[in-house]
Amino acid sequence: MLALTLVFGSAAALPKGVVTDTAGITASAADTILVSGDYKYKVLSDGAAQITDYTGKASTLTIPSTLGGKTVTSIGKTAFTMSTTLTSVTIPDSITEIGYGAFTVCSKLTTVKLGSGLSKIGMYAFAQSGLTSIAIPAIVKQIGQYAFDRCKSLKTVTIASGESATVDNYAFEKCSDLTKVDFGSTVSAIGSFAFQGCTSLTSLAIPESVKSINQRAFAECTKLTNVKLGNGLKTLGVGAFILCTGLKNVTFGKSLESIGNSAFEDCTSLTGVTLMPSTKTIGESAFSGCVDMTSAVLSGAEVIGPKAFSYCIKLTDVTFL
């Protein structure tokens, strides 16, 4: 981050591309950086302001909704990254997007209040921060890749119902203290590896709005014991719940069409499965290594892949309806 020192009463030159926030000044180029107190910002093509850097040392911070008379609508790439002082941040309703790595590695940052106008949380936005909980506003449409990756103190995630939203790849990967996720009722897709390695999760209720759970989305969630899949789910990706060794019970939805390869492989505590007539395809090794499984009801299965139930050494009751 660029450190700017103003020497009053001298003719010291400002760094190229940086101007002070003076009344009447107009940014003439998209990359012109202006300064207002502890904030650096630029004026976007639509006349709104984007925060590009923060030079302050506050612990509790309320980000302003205007800078230099311009409405602040976004937080730019790495604007607050690696802050060593921030513990609490309030983001105003005017901000619609939080950019790439905006608060990444803010290790002391435990609390963030997101504004109601937020629609996009960018890649790595809060990755490896100290957050303990997060409430996602109703109009957020995208939780970007790695947005909360490895937030090892994060315990609860609440996604408000509103806009159709996607949880992108790796969004909450290896949030090892995460115990509860409330998906609301409008999340449409859960990306690959989105919650992989969330080893404190114990139960999941997937809403009916979710149409797809992708590759290894919940892999290695070793304390996960109960999963209820919503009736809107159509596809379950490769390895979606692989190595969830504590998983005992899964309720399958009425619209599930296919279970991907290795979807429940090595779920060693799973005792049985009852699939709905909609489930036509069971992928290769889908339930391989489920050593405690004793029964399987495969109501509509038409294609069962190789080794789908291999090493299910207690499986004695298989029913086709």
Q: Given this model, what pLDDT does residue 24 score?
A: 40
The enclosing H or E element of 67 equals: strand 66-67
Residue 31 confidence (pLDDT):
74
Token reading at 119: 């629609």
Rounded CA-CA distance 204/9 in Å is 63
**Residue segments in the chain with a per-residue pLDDT below the cut of 70:** 1-30
CA distances 262 to 200, 208, 285, 294, 309, Å, are 22, 23, 5, 18, 10
Residue 254 is inside which H or E element, if any?
A: none
Nearest-angstrom CA–CA distance, 303 and 259: 10
Instruction: State pLDDT tens for residues 208-222.
Output: 999 999 999 999 999
pLDDT of amino acid 18:
46
The pLDDT assigned to 11 comes to 37
To the question of domain 202-321 being in CATH 1.10.1040.10, the answer is: no
Mean of pLDDT over the chain: 92
8 A C-beta contact, residue 42 and residue 30:
yes
How far is CA 290 from each of CA 31, 46, 181, 276, rounded to the nearest angstrom?
57, 56, 26, 20
Q: How many angstroms separate the CA atoms of 305 and 303, rounded?
A: 6
Distance CA 63, CA 191 (A): 30
The token pair at 131 is 């957050």
